[in-house]
Amino acid sequence: MTGRLRLGAQAVAVTAVVLLLGLLVWKVAFGGDNEVTGALASGETPAAPAFTLERLDGEGELALDSLRGKAVVLNFWASWCGPCREEMPLLQEGWERWQDRDVVFVGVDVKDFRGDARDFLEEYGVTYPNVYDGKGSTVGRYGVTGFPETYFIDRDGDVVFRIAGPVLEEHELDEGIERALARV
């Protein structure tokens, strides 16, 4: 009887270890984090993960898919982030230069208070669409490693370029947009 019990306990322990190992392998293989950043690093142009998020600059929601057919400059930022303040005037100025040429700028405010984010947009006179992602649901899927970070998406919805850190030079921004527009 004791032998049978011991065998049962060993079977339970082995099963538990196998299950935990399986969970670890699944998480590593299909966890989904860094899918965009990883693919870009290996020279691919991955599909931009879809999202539908509440707008900060008005009522309702904005779906990334609804912008298909235009190049998208997707900027992840937060009002508490110092470097985001540095780049915001350049982004707004870039939006004013590019908005009539099939280009849309979208800001994604991450892990922030809505009120602080709205104050920030008002302070910098930002007029392009901004959405709110307080829970950071997009961060892992895009592989955002810090704030700010900017992704350039072509007309087909594929990510073609990424700038980690603030965009401080006009030519950096223009290069990303031109790359996104060049892909048909």
Chain residues binding another protein by CB under 8 A are 2, 5-6, 9, 12, 78, 80-82, 111-114, 116, 134-137
Taking residue 67's Cβ as centre, other Cβ atoms within 10 Å add up to: 19
| Closest by Cα among 133, 146, 119 to 64 | 133
C-beta closer to another protein: residue 12 or 182 = 12
Distance in Å, CB of 39 to another protein, minimum? 25
C-beta closer to another protein: residue 22 or 69 = 22
Distance in Å, CB of 94 to another protein, minimum? 25
C-beta closer to another protein: residue 136 or 157 = 136
Inter-residue contact 124 to 87 (CB < 8 Å) = no
C-beta closer to another protein: residue 56 or 173 = 56
Distance in Å, CB of 25 to another protein, minimum? 20
Q: What length is written for the chain?
A: 184
In whole angstroms, give the CA distance from residue 119 to residue 147: 18
Cβ contacts of residue 8 below 8 Å, gap of 6+?
none
Distance in Å, CB of 64 to another protein, minimum? 20
DSSP 50: P
Inter-residue contact 62 to 104 (CB < 8 Å) = no
C-beta closer to another protein: residue 101 or 114 = 114
Inter-residue contact 76 to 138 (CB < 8 Å) = yes
Distance in Å, CB of 160 to another protein, minimum? 28
